[in-house]
Structure 1
Amino acid sequence: MVKPKNLSESDTLNMNYLTKEMEVYLQAHLETGYFIGSVLVAYGGEILLSKGYGMANLEHSIPNAPLTKFRIGSVTKQFTAAAILKLQEQNLLDVNNSVATYIPDYPNGGKITIHQLLTHTSGIPNYTNFDDFESKKTIKMELDELIAYFSHHPLDFQPGEVFKYSNSGYVVLTKIIETVSNKSYADYLQEYIFTPLGMIDSGYDRYETILQNRASGYVSMGEEYKNAQLIDMSLPSGAGALYSTVEDLYKWDCSLNTDIVLNKLSRDAMFSPQIKVIEDDNEQVHYGYGWLLDTIYDRHRISHNGGIDGFSSHFSRFPNEQITIVVLSNLVTSPVEKIGRDLTAIILGESYELPKKREAINLDPAIYENYVGQYKFEPSGSQSEVNDITLTVTTESQRIFIQWVGGPVIEIFPESPTKFFRKIVDAQLTFVTDNQGKASQLIFHQNGRDMILNKIG
């Protein structure tokens, strides 16, 4: 179904109704405390909604707006991928060539290709997962220093074997862009993407730059917010260092139907399913070049999420339906993907639920003992990115807690004898019990998805 650009009166009334429904939905999200940010929704070449919610800066009471600038995290990757494809159009590189062709001294560079960097199949370990990464966040690093930080670690696997998300690969792509173009990464994107598209509110974020309409990033502490930890923007590099606005990202979206930045051959490569990410009984997800490719509501979706200290982002495109959803938030735990999914549901007439602020009830703490233990996710098919997904439930001082492998201990709160929720993010858990009240399964619900974990041991 494709809406024509020249809308009839009935079409206009329907569009107005959709806009009002989306505004009610987003206002409900704002009132939960889980979301602040800016949102743009376009359908059939028409912008239905472009609006800010909550505060861009809480200390100065500056509201979010369509022109508020947010850090977009890993949504940056599609611009890095586009720069690589543009350089290929300029005959300055070939994505099938090895890294060593452009960075001769890179360890294992002779057996890693640019294609593998783009598709997270290089085997280069993800530096943002290193144990000491948190301690380095405020340190400014030159690009070569950042590459030296991870390049001498052994590969996680032989290049091309599997998909494993790695920011490191996109940092190496940044170095290749600078090497073959003889320009800085920021300058190359400015010259070949942002300036041609009139994206005057997008660029490489630097803390020292005075940037008008820049949002401050926050983390949730349950009932209140606090300033996010500082991160020097040299660290995310071409994997996540850009800022933009919802309206600039829509300009970028519109360009992807034209030859202004990339020709059709490059765009087809970007949006082709290059590697499987997930394939099970219920879901198939592929990765292109800087984009995820999947299906929701039986429609083909091209999307990517981003997260960086204090910020969360979601950008999705439905090319067949001409739907574009951009959700940018200055609250790192905002359920941006779920918001994007539900806004799509509103347009397509699919079912969705209004968010609600959850209230804890008084519950006999003895019930918690029925839930204590370990729960493991066992995918029904092949999920190459899934390693050990185990959740541990514990109790202490008449309170109940969960902990994912390698993550912090987090308190959960009861809204019924079997249903619990987190206060900081929009996530719920349901314990499936037997006749004695003992849990055998746990259903974890977040971002519109259910993950079933079976109790082990």
Structure 2
Amino acid sequence: MKKIILLLFTLSLFSCAEKPKEVAFSKEQDVVKTNLDDYFTALTKLKKFNGVLLAYTNDTLVLKKAYLINDHAESTSYVRADDQFDIHSVSKLMTHYLIVKLKENKHLSDDQTIDKFYSDFPKGDLITIEMLLNHSSGLPRELQNLPGKEINLTSDKIVDMAKKEKLLFQPGSDIQYSNVGYELLYNIISKIYKKPFAQCIVDEIFVPLKMNHSGSHFFTIEDRKQNLAKNHILKDSTLTVVPNILEDEFKTARLYSTVDDLNRFLVALEKEPYKSVMTNSKGVIAKDGGSKGIRAQVYSDLERNFRFVLLANYDGMPFFETIDDVAKIMMGEPVEIPKELNRLVIPVKREILERYVGSYSFADFDGLILKIAIDSNNLVVFQDKEKIATLKAETETIFFENPKAAESFEFIKNDSGSYNTFMGWKGISVEGIKVDKN
């Protein structure tokens, strides 16, 4: 009988020890949690978000929640708060982490030129590691005139093809986002560690930081995939699955992670030597990632002591607007709760429309050219001589196609007296430079 009583007492103690602790929020933290939840609940009801948000203030978890457009567990878009998501360009922040680590160990320096690694790279004696990191090398965003699919290219083959690319500008004289430049960094890191880049990420970041649910689609010994979210686009008003692995993307740095693991990574970045190197002028460490069917964001504000991670397996969200709003909510600033749009059309004189006629080049879309013309007192958009949109005027400078969507073309007068345009597309804004008036 005494043994039974002792056993019950022991089980009682164990039960008490395992009971999760309830965190007492401050009034400010409670407001942050409520406002975040209200915001994402509204965004999800509008079918503009499907994914997971995790948020900390003063190192206290205030919210970790999955938001679902379709809450049926058998739905392809269904996710849980601990599921794994593709993170795409968030891997560039991990690349920077490894570069800092290699600099600390005297294997690299910011002013190290890449001719040390590639003796025949054009202007390799001018392109530095720092230029590759901050997108000022002059290399284009993507490789041009590929003989096959990007997914089939090895890291060394990508470097060989990068050698043939014409630089957009003299190294160090301008900035242009370049995935090609980061492919060089992946290759350099791989050369130093003597193993594939993705394996470097696993061995040097995921394992020591106990990011046990993060991994790579390729090149690693251990398969860490457990509950990987399926990616989606909106097609005919329906969430539609797209492959996690796309043929038109490089496979070198195809990583996946969870909100908790990425929070662990942010905590590591908030310590030296990473903190002083990777914090921007606003006191923030942040990186976004995205591709067809996914959006990802990590964000740490070291001055105001908050951080958040957002992972979405649907790309139809107003991405950068949402990220800005989350940061404002975390700082206690007011934001407008998302609501259904119903944009109104106004008449615009033809002479105003004529200001915007011409061809526009979008550097962020690999030099994509869109032509703006007039048809029946409306602006129309052509790509490769095919009409892809008819635009209505919301103001004399802002035009849209769908009154229920936020996507727009906004025309801004440039220094030459002509006009450039900012095209909103799936939550991002890209600038188009007018290249002619035809």
- Write the distance in 1 (CA, Å) between the matches of 2:71 and 2:163: 38
Aligned to 1:286: none
Cα distance per residue 1:100-138 (max 9 Å; x no partner): 21233433322211111111111122226x3659x725x
Matched pairs, number: 399
Alignment pair present for 1:427 and 2:407: yes
**Aligned runs of 1:53-452 on 2, under 5 Å?**
53-54=67-68, 60-61=74-75, 63-127=78-142, 130=144, 136-137=149-150, 139-206=151-218, 211-221=225-235, 223-228=237-242, 230-232=245-247, 235-238=250-253, 241-258=254-271, 264-271=272-279, 293=280, 295=282, 300-359=283-342, 372-373=353-354, 375=356, 401-402=380-381, 409-411=388-390, 420=400, 422=402, 426-428=406-408
Per the normalisation by structure 1, the TM-score is 0.73
* Residues 96 and 113 in structure 1, CA contact (< 8 A), matched pair in contact too: yes
Question: Structure 1 stretch 116-125 or stretch 408-417: which is displaced more?
Answer: 408-417
Distance change >3 Å, CA 115–CA 22, structure 1 → 2: same
- Write the distance in 2 (CA, Å) between the matches of 1:407 and 1:48: 49
Aligned to 1:50: 64
Relative contact order higher in (CA < 8 Å, ≥ 6 apart): 1
* Residues 55 and 64 in structure 1, CA contact (< 8 A), matched pair in contact too: no
The share of aligned pairs that are identical, in percent, is: 23
What is the alpha-carbon root mean square deviation over aligned residues? 4.4
Q: Give the residue type in structure 2 aligned to 1:224.
A: T
Shift of 1:78: 0.7
Shift of 1:77: 0.3
* Residues 37 and 56 in structure 1, CA contact (< 8 A), matched pair in contact too: no
Q: Give the residue type in structure 2 aligned to 1:330.
A: N
Distance change >3 Å, CA 411–CA 301, structure 1 → 2: farther
* Residues 183 and 252 in structure 2, CA contact (< 8 A), matched pair in contact too: yes
* Residues 84 and 257 in structure 2, CA contact (< 8 A), matched pair in contact too: yes
Shift of 1:324: 0.8
Structure 1, unmatched stretches of 5+, are 1-6, 259-263, 272-292, 378-383, 433-439
In our comparison, the structure showing a higher alpha carbon Rg is: 2
Per the normalisation by structure 2, the TM-score is 0.75
Cα distance per residue 1:336-364 (max 9 Å; x no partner): 32222112222323231111223477x79
Structure 2, unmatched stretches of 5+, are 1-21, 413-418
* Residues 389 and 405 in structure 1, CA contact (< 8 A), matched pair in contact too: no
- Write the distance in 2 (CA, Å) between the matches of 1:192 and 1:398: 59
Q: Give the residue type in structure 1 aligned to 2:182.
A: Y
The secondary structure found in structure 2 opposite 1:152 is: coil
